[in-house]
Amino acid sequence: MKVLLSEPQRIDIPFVMGHSFACKTNDSGRKNREFCKKKRMKKFITTPIYYVNDVPHIGHAYCTLAADTLARYWRQKLGRENVFFLTGTDENSQKTVDAAAAAGEEVMPYLDAMAARWKETWEEIGIDFDDFIRTTEARHHKTVHEVLTTIHGKGDIYKGKYEGLYCTGCEAFLKASEVDEHGHCPHHKKAPNVVEEDNYFFRLSKYQDQLLELFEKNPKLLEPEKRRNEVLSFIKSGLEDISISRENAEFGIPLPWDKSHKIYVWFDALINYRSGCPSEEFWGNTLHLLGKDITRFHCVIWPAMLMSAGISTPAEEYAHGFFTVDGEKMGKSLGNVISPLDLAMKYGNDGVRLGLLSSFEFGNDGDFSQEQFHDLYNKKLAGGIGNLFNRVTVLIHKFLEGKSPTESTAFDAKTLQHFGERLEAKKIREAIETMFHVMDDANELLNSTEPWKLAKTDLPAAEKVFAELIPKLATIAKMSETLLPEAAPKMWKMIGEGKKVGEAAILFQRAE
Ligand code: MSP
């Protein structure tokens, strides 16, 4: 399944949305270029780091593919060196220790094997991350120590007694009001552990007003609106200080000033974004993508930790929805967990990416239907885009001896601008729809003009149709660098260099 990709075609992108990077021209050319280089925005894109007690399923792949897709878009716009995409694994968790024990293995070898499995899965399905961080790495421990020492020095950590409920599944403390009628964690359907121990606490309550102010000033601190409102009402309901260490934990990062305590896994995990960030320039434009279940950690605890540590808060956070599979919650017990690798075997990496990201709009909840996924692949990719490219190149070979009727890179700038706007708003499904519209438009032109008939009676008229079709194909190829990255280089080959079109090829095999 691993396909080596060539670098995407570096063509100046006609869509420049949001920030403008237009450089003023004056005679001091070199100075000006340097100024522009410095002014170039950098973008840091992250996924949550995944627990390694299990293998990746399509729920995890969903967020990772979305982040990869956005990273590819931003690389196209800003240049590869200005975008940094980080993913990784969350390893200092009790879940992991339990999973290693259940597998009859020592913790570290188990973690090494599982982290490798996650990393390889992402590589196999075509995720082009810039770095993969593990929270057991020394570089992460170092950053955690620095951040915690600063927060401690600020007087925001104190020792107290924790008495309450802890759910290992969530790796979170639960309030008595949060358990269901059976006294179980509503997500894991298990009774949480009752714990009573000396812990260190973080003064989260101190940051309540600052957090509200931060939200007010920064509408992108959490999107979509629905999630933002949930978190805002949680903050307004009154924040309590949180326990940030466990006295009896077997595994984890010790507190810098009291080695008998291990840092609470979420408090260490969030810091991965700092450990894995290449520089302050990137940090200034951070986009965290996450699931809707972990917004309180990312949009309440995390910004408060950063404010306490004197580090700037993320520019943007976006929470996506959850999906069910054929109407059911995905879970091991239901036996409906789908591996992205299994899907990729049948539909290819582009098929998985497009199928998952178009199931429903990023940000909403939705259902993943296997049947719909299969039909979409055959209709829109194999029978749609694939067939379109094949037909057009075959016809140009047949009637124009392969001579390209127009400049291949003349894309439709307006459509690309719209496409870029949709991606910058994280409306990934709408961006996909934009690509399908171009495809429908091209097919309509082809079917209404029938250039295969026209060519026999009026060759120049047929040539004109092909000249109109090529920019449409180029527009699709340009969008595919983001949405269908394995097909994109093959598309450019078929479109050719402006003089001759390439050989016709099958972009997507029909799935049985
Ligand atoms: N380790 C924490 C994250 C720490 S980030 C500093 C964690 N890990 S997780 O492996 O349980 O979940 C990772 C992500 O997968 C979450 O964003 C979660 O929302 C997402 N998903 C897990 N199941 C999912 C679906 N069924 N659908 C969509 N996303 C899902 O939480």
Q: Are 2 and 348 in contact (CB under 8 A)?
A: no
CA of 48 to the centre of ligand 1 (A): 7
CA of 96 to the centre of ligand 1 (A): 15
- Ligand 1 atom nearest residue 292's Cα: 19
**pLDDT for residue 171:** 80
φ/ψ of residue 169, rounded to 5: -60, -45
pLDDT one-digit tens code per residue, 214-228: 999 999 999 999 999
CA of 321 to the centre of ligand 1 (A): 10
Q: Is the pLDDT of residue 179 over 50?
A: yes
Average confidence (pLDDT) over 267-289? 98
List, as own/partner pairs, every contact residues 338-341 make where C-beta atoms lie below 8 angstroms and the sequence separation is at least 24, other chains included. Answer: 338/57, 338/58, 338/368, 338/370, 339/55, 339/56, 339/57, 339/58, 340/56, 340/57, 340/58, 340/60, 340/61, 340/121, 340/125, 341/1, 341/121, 341/124, 341/125
In sign, the C-alpha dihedral spanning 46, 202, 134, 325 is negative
- Lowest model confidence (mean pLDDT) among 96-105, 242-251, 380-389, 486-495: 242-251
CA distance 247 to 22: 55
Instruction: Specify whether 57 is catalytic.
Output: yes
**pLDDT for residue 33:** 46
**pLDDT for residue 501:** 94
* 345 compared with 14, residue with greater pLDDT: 345
* 203 compared with 331, residue with greater pLDDT: 203
Candidate from 47, 54, 60, 167 with most ligand 1 atoms within 8 A of CB, to mutate? 60
* pLDDT classification of 330: cutoffs 50, 70, 90: confident
**pLDDT for residue 3:** 34
Identify the active-site residue in 31, 159, 220, 329.
Answer: 329
**Residue at 426: amino acid letter:** K
Is 0.85 surpassed by the pTM of this model? Answer: yes
Report for 34-43, 404-413, 419-428, 497-506: range of highest mean pLDDT: 419-428
Identify the active-site residue in 63, 141, 185, 490.
Answer: 185
CB atoms within 10 A of CB 512: 6
Q: Is the pLDDT of residue 71 over 50?
A: yes
* pLDDT classification of 174: cutoffs 50, 70, 90: confident
Nearest CA to ligand 1 atom 25: 59
Average pLDDT, the chain: 90
Q: Is the pLDDT of residue 140 over 70?
A: yes
**pLDDT for residue 14:** 32
Helix axes 94-102, 107-124, angle to 10 degrees: 100
Domain ranges of the chain: 1-40
CA distance 273 to 469: 44
Instruction: Specify whether 190 is catalytic.
Output: no
Instruction: Specify whether 320 is catalytic.
Output: no
CA distance 311 to 126: 33
Ligand 1 binding residues, C-beta < 6 A: 48-51, 59-60, 62-63, 90, 269-270, 272, 290-291, 293-294, 322-323, 330
Nearest CA to ligand 1 atom 16: 291
In three-state secondary structure terms, 160 is strand
**pLDDT for residue 464:** 96
Token pair belonging to 385 = 């885009």
Average confidence (pLDDT) over 132-144? 98
User: How many helices (H) and strands (E) are present in the chain, helices listed first?
Assistant: 20, 15
Give CA angle at 75 (344, 496), nearest 5°.
75
Q: Is the pLDDT of residue 389 over 90?
A: yes
**pLDDT for residue 443:** 97
Q: Name the one residue in this structure whose structure tokens are 């220790």.
A: 97
Instruction: Specify whether 188 is catalytic.
Output: yes
Alpha-carbon 325 to chain mean position: 20
pLDDT one-digit tens code per residue, 391-400: 999 999 999 9
3-state helix, strand, coil in the chain (%, to 5): 50, 15, 35
Instruction: Specify whether 31 is catalytic.
Output: no
Instruction: Specify whether 329 is catalytic.
Output: yes
Q: Name the one residue in this structure whose structure tokens are 């600063």.
A: 150
**pLDDT for residue 408:** 59
Nearest CA to ligand 1 atom 9: 50
CA of 62 to the centre of ligand 1 (A): 10
Q: Are 428 and 362 in contact (CB under 8 A)?
A: yes
CA distance 215 to 208: 11
CA of 291 to the centre of ligand 1 (A): 6
Q: Where are the beta strands (DSSP E) in 47-175?
A: 50-51, 83-90, 131-134, 157-167, 172-174
CA of 73 to the centre of ligand 1 (A): 23
- Lowest model confidence (mean pLDDT) among 123-132, 162-171, 253-262, 470-479: 162-171
* pLDDT classification of 17: cutoffs 50, 70, 90: very low
**pLDDT for residue 1:** 35
Return the DSSP state at 130: S
CA of 330 to the centre of ligand 1 (A): 12
Token pair belonging to 322 = 């959850």
CA distance 399 to 386: 20
Q: Are 244 and 264 in contact (CB under 8 A)?
A: yes
Burial class (CB in 10 A: 0-12, 13-18, 19+), 500: middle
CA distance 23 to 35: 8
- Ligand 1 atom nearest residue 273's Cα: 6
Candidate from 50, 93, 273, 306 with most ligand 1 atoms within 8 A of CB, to mutate? 50
Average confidence (pLDDT) over 448-470? 96
pLDDT one-digit tens code per residue, 19-43: 222 333 334 444 444 544 555 699 9
211: closest CA among 233, 243, 242, 244? Answer: 233
290: closest CA among 13, 46, 475, 503? Answer: 46
Q: Name the one residue in this structure whose structure tokens are 């951070």.
A: 286
What is the Rg, in whole angstroms, of the alpha carbon atoms belonging to the chain? 26
Non-local CB neighbours of 370 within 8 Å, separated by 6+ positions: 325, 326, 338
